[in-house]
Structure 1
Amino acid sequence: MSEPLDLIFRAPRVITGAGEVARCIGIRDGRIVAIEPLDSVLEAKETIQLGDDEVLMPGLVDTHVHVNEPGRTEWEGFASATRAAAAGGVTTIVDMPLNSIPATVDVSALEIKQKVAADQAYVDVGFWGGAIPGNVPELRALHDAGVFGFKCFLLHSGVDEFPPLDAQELEIALREVASFGALMIVHAEDAHSIDRAPSPNGERYSDFLASRPRGAENLAIAEVIELARWTNCRVHILHLSSSDALPMIASARNDGVRLTVETCPHYLSFVAEGIRAGATQFKCCPPIREASNRELLWQGLADGVIDCIVSDHSPCTEELKRFDIGDFGVAWGGIASLQLGLPAIWTEARRRGHSLLEVVAWMAENPAKQVGFTTKGHIALGYAADFAVFAPDEAFVVDASRLQHKNPISAYDGLPLAGVVRSTWLAGTRIDIDEAPRGRLLTRGTA
């Protein structure tokens, strides 16, 4: 090249489309412009030489993050959430439309959220819109304003300002979303099944688990599949926890239903049998299930039935977790894990013989593809120079008080994990959380 590049990584281990290989990666103006042999004569203003114990990976893409700002900023906020993302090797997040006030269910609410986020983002941030009863006329305008799709619930969401859709309302919303080629993402648990389940009140996790039975998840997913079939809408199942649903998901795809599926680190890391009484930091909906279920979820990933792994980062204050009484019935349901997803998954994946190549597919490539990013999730020519430098053989013990999340609550607290993120790079610049944030606000088609 005629002029020196801005930056070169010389790395013995790089995750690319060719596998894990030794490469020299050249960056100019925030994009990857050269991928050459390690001993290439490329020149740059700055050269980063990685060690044999480090892997250059594409920055992770987390499409399921509850930032909660404005309105519930004491739970989390754009500054703290994006610092946590950067510390965990995540370079792009997509923010969920609920738990903030106002919820992102019309263009004015989206604009409020974008204005709040604009000067606080350490990583790139996109936004989901919401589908609730009565806002179908708002969906096209939100789509045109750049949201990446629409989220809906089939039961109470946990906050009154984001009510659920019934079956008829969901079909109407799916037909509208299909008419302009957008994506609907669904929290799939059946409200009637859960209304008839036992009460979750008390300290015993087994009682909480019984209150959110697999059948409720399975029934809702079956309904979503049939509605997607009838409407030809592209649909994504959020945070799959019931392995029972895997065969019908695979069958629907074989039939041509336009369906993708995610799961989360907590469903792949923890088991119901290991959750002690009163440990409400493990409460989430749908719930963490049994060990046998966890292994079948891992098999679903291996088989390609589950497409991606995202955090469902849903933090809250210590008071809302009700550690004072340890009651699963009244504690807020959500697990904060944005900073820890990569080491949590790598710890469990390598135990089962999976490679970093697979982890990158699940946590970067496939989430980026799901939302339509065309320059993220890969180390490839023309792509954004978004990277995580990862030391897969280094270990650490999680200390919740040292995480970048706003509240020091973590189901992973005290857990030994494998893999340390040593640095995170956004558009060719190392993210320094002590400096001014440089993340962009993304709209559909801009990344």
Structure 2
Amino acid sequence: MSDVELVLRSTRVITPEGTRPASVAVSGGKITAVLPHGAGAAPGVRVEDFGDDVLLPGLVDTHVHVNDPGRTAWEGFWTATRAAAAGGITTLLDMPLNSLPPTTTVDHLAVKRDVARPKAHVDVGFWGGAIPANVKDLRPLYDAGVFGFKCFLSPSGVEEFPELDQEQLAASLAEVAGFGGLMIVHAEDPHHLASAPQRPGPKYADFLASRPRDAENTAIGNLIAQAKRLNARVHVLHLSSSDALPLIAAAKREGVRISVESCPHFLTLTAEEVPDGATEFKCCPPIREAANQGALWQGLADGTIDCVVSDHSPCTTDLKTPDFASAWGGISSLQLGLPAIWTEARRRGHGIEDVVRWMSTAPAELVGLRRKGAIEAGRDADFAVLAPEETFTVDPVELHHRNQVTAYAGKTLHGVVRSTWLRGVRIAHEGELAEPVGRLLERTD
């Protein structure tokens, strides 16, 4: 043990084998051993003892809209990664749209990386984008290290990132399947959206009616059929409609290569509590009713839903107009996902180990980040320290993302993130952030 540089100790360390008292030995930014509690404290070795606070692997958030460069008034790598670090997230993957340029070519990816490199407080990877005109760019992007490709099946909200129709989806999916890549899909059917009632104004009920569950259900059904036909690997983004769960479960049983995520806002907020005009709650697909939420939790419990990620999609305050039809759709929650999910999970009888599986282990596995997502020897020394019994009330001015707009304002949540560690370096502590030490990640096969 003479090469150990740091030991992190807690009576509650979450490991793949369960939660137990342990000391975690760190050297060279890696976990070298998980030892009995009290071990590893050789002369000259720094020891951090967290008492009864929980030591868990740093969270992996594979769905973040950083919007940098081009729309940095909405967000940016500096502010987004600070918010991530403050919330216990040590790795995030940036979505290919809402930045200018979008990540749809290798040259655009290079621009994005150059902007992110000096600003990253956590490790950052990138998704590529699949749009109608860039099938030829997908393999070069994959070879350049993106983790997969995002597409929309309905309008994205920004003109530089158009949606795919079914024929275009088939072409892109065939290309991606040909080299073993992953397609991640915003699955809402445009025909169902177009035929739904469209009533502008402040009433949340009108907005909810404009994004019916059938739009998700139909799009997911079509996606499953395409994935089955092409033996393609697909991932459903931000599942909102619980009606789609039986369809997804059946596809998994048949061997279709499909995985699914949901998000804190679908699992902790309900349509019944959204005030009219409160467009900080607007997202697409929308926050649905409490009964729907209960079914989503059941989907998490039985494994139909694989992981929970933020879909952090911020904007400037002025774009959150009181009109649900015209307001920008997106929930800002990067810093709050862990306590939000833990608050509801504990109420429903789940343990913190479940939250770690949904928010760290499973997202890391989804994108092949084998060094992330668990506290065991050989992994990166990425940790969050959580006081799970403590509570706090969300004050937007204390959030680190660029625009302090959040649907969680005023909510009291369980779980205070004491500190966050990236490769053995403490990057956040009691609300204070260190200088950026994050790295840019590439997919490795």
TM range (shorter): over 0.9
Alignment match, 2:84: 85
Q: 1:336 aligns with which of 332, 335, 342?
A: 332
- Aligned runs of 1:120-159 on 2, under 5 Å? 120-159=119-158
Q: 2: CA distance between counterparts of 1:90 and 1:236? A: 21
**Aligned amino acid, residue 51 of structure 2:** G
- Aligned runs of 1:299-378 on 2, under 5 Å? 299-322=298-321, 326-378=322-374
8 Å Cα contact 2:102/2:161 also seen in 1: yes
Shift of 1:200: 3.9
Alignment match, 1:198: 197
Alignment match, 1:382: 378
8 Å Cα contact 2:61/2:92 also seen in 1: yes
Q: 2: CA distance between counterparts of 1:19 and 1:262? A: 23
SS of 1:256's equivalent in the other structure is coil
Alignment match, 2:49: 49
SS of 1:337's equivalent in the other structure is coil
Work out whether 1:235 is the aligned partner of 2:234: yes
**Aligned amino acid, residue 392 of structure 2:** F
8 Å Cα contact 1:67/1:81 also seen in 2: yes
- Aligned runs of 1:42-441 on 2, under 5 Å? 42-43=41-42, 45-52=45-52, 54-322=53-321, 326-432=322-428, 434-441=433-440
Shift of 1:41: 4.4
State the Cα deviation string for residues 200-226 of structure 1 (Å, max 9, x = none): 411110000000000001000000000
Q: 2: CA distance between counterparts of 1:9 and 1:92? A: 20
Q: 1: CA distance between counterparts of 2:199 and 2:360? A: 35
Shift of 1:434: 4.6
Residue range with higher mean Cα deviation, 136-145 or 199-208: 199-208
Shift of 1:34: 1.2
SS of 1:202's equivalent in the other structure is coil
Q: 1: CA distance between counterparts of 2:407 and 2:434? A: 29
What TM-score, normalized to structure 1? 0.98
State the Cα deviation string for residues 9-56 of structure 1 (Å, max 9, x = none): 12110000111100011000000001111022442531001112x000
8 Å Cα contact 2:381/2:422 also seen in 1: yes
8 Å Cα contact 2:385/2:417 also seen in 1: yes
State the Cα deviation string for residues 97-143 of structure 1 (Å, max 9, x = none): 00000000000000000000010000000000000001000000000
Task: Tell me: CA distance 1:300–1:104, structure 2 relative to 1, closer, same or farther (3 Å).
Answer: same
**Aligned amino acid, residue 394 of structure 2:** V
**Aligned amino acid, residue 48 of structure 1:** E
Q: 2: CA distance between counterparts of 1:49 and 1:384? A: 19
SS of 2:298's equivalent in the other structure is helix
8 Å Cα contact 1:4/1:45 also seen in 2: no
Work out whether 1:15 is the aligned partner of 2:11: no
Task: Tell me: CA distance 1:346–1:434, structure 2 relative to 1, closer, same or farther (3 Å).
Answer: closer
8 Å Cα contact 2:32/2:377 also seen in 1: yes
Shift of 1:402: 1.0
What count of residue pairs does the alignment treat as equivalent? 441
8 Å Cα contact 2:393/2:410 also seen in 1: yes
Work out whether 1:27 is the aligned partner of 2:23: no
Shift of 1:436: 2.4
- Listed as ranges, the gaps of 5+ residues in structure 1 are none
Q: 2: CA distance between counterparts of 1:110 and 1:160? A: 19
Task: Tell me: CA distance 1:345–1:131, structure 2 relative to 1, closer, same or farther (3 Å).
Answer: same
Q: 1: CA distance between counterparts of 2:267 and 2:190? A: 25
SS of 2:118's equivalent in the other structure is coil
**Aligned amino acid, residue 291 of structure 1:** A
State the Cα deviation string for residues 395-432 of structure 1 (Å, max 9, x = none): 00000111001001000000000000000000000004
- Listed as ranges, the gaps of 5+ residues in structure 2 are none
8 Å Cα contact 1:200/1:328 also seen in 2: no
State the Cα deviation string for residues 354-413 of structure 1 (Å, max 9, x = none): 000000000000000000001100001100000000000010000011100100100000
SS of 1:125's equivalent in the other structure is strand
What TM-score, normalized to structure 2? 0.98
Q: 1: CA distance between counterparts of 2:302 and 2:230? A: 27
Q: 1: CA distance between counterparts of 2:277 and 2:381? A: 44
State the Cα deviation string for residues 334-373 of structure 1 (Å, max 9, x = none): 0000000000000000000000000000000000000000
**Aligned amino acid, residue 428 of structure 1:** G
8 Å Cα contact 2:310/2:334 also seen in 1: yes
8 Å Cα contact 2:82/2:433 also seen in 1: no
**Aligned amino acid, residue 287 of structure 1:** P
